[in-house]
Amino acid sequence: MNANFWHQKWKRGDIGFHKSEANPLLIEHFEKLNLAKDSRVFLPLCGMSRDCAWLLARGYRVVGAELSELAISELFKELGLAPEISKVGKLTRYSAKDIDMLVGDIFDVSAEYLGPINAIYDRAALVALPASIRQQYTSHLMNITNAAPQLLISYEYNQLLMDGPPFSVNENEVKQHYGATYHLKSVDTKNVAGGLKGKVASVETAWLLQKINK
């Protein structure tokens, strides 16, 4: 899986992972992070997520990273915002009031480009990456955000029955990536109605991650 894989999915409109409404687990559990309004929330691999609009409407500032410039262009159109566009290193920044989006490889995103982050909402990043990349991703994410608290959404299903993405990431793997840095708490688990992509029985879990004070 490489960058071209995702670019082609967006060009074809093959975006089954894109939801028409904000994620119910976000709506139910985001306030458990106990953030002040005006906090900056990072959405890695955000696509054109409606979750951005939900967060903005509730007074949070949104920061995202996304490989597809097409997705970010469409996101700003949906939000009715005219972005200022600039270059930062290898990335392209789309900015408007209370929203900053970095377009390019997530591994080119630095703490300097990102700025201070109060929380992370990861609905579509960890589960979008193959197993060979997930350790690198989680280490990078903690590094560029100073291990900000997270609301993480994961799926668990029989990977033999369907190829990802989204990939199956079980409890043991979440603990493997994050257990040394965060207190982990599973706050909700739901069966995916109709199965994941309509193909395979799956459960969706919301995790609350709070940094361990050392």
Q: Domains along the chain?
A: 3-11+20-211 (3.40.50.150)
Q: How far apart are CA 20 and CA 185, in angstroms?
A: 28
Residue 21: band (very low, low, confident or very high) from pLDDT cuts 50, 70, 90: confident
Q: How far apart are CA 44 and CA 188, in angstroms?
A: 21
pTM: 0.92
Q: Which residue has the tokens 């193959």?
A: 130
Half-sphere exposure (Cβ direction) of 98: Cα atoms closer than 13 Å: 15
For 73-95, what is each residue's pLDDT tens digit?
999 999 999 999 999 999 999 99
For 201-213, what is each residue's pLDDT tens digit?
999 999 999 999 9
What are the residues facing 184 on neighbouring strands? 209
Residue 130: pLDDT over 50: yes
Q: Which residue has the tokens 């199956």?
A: 168
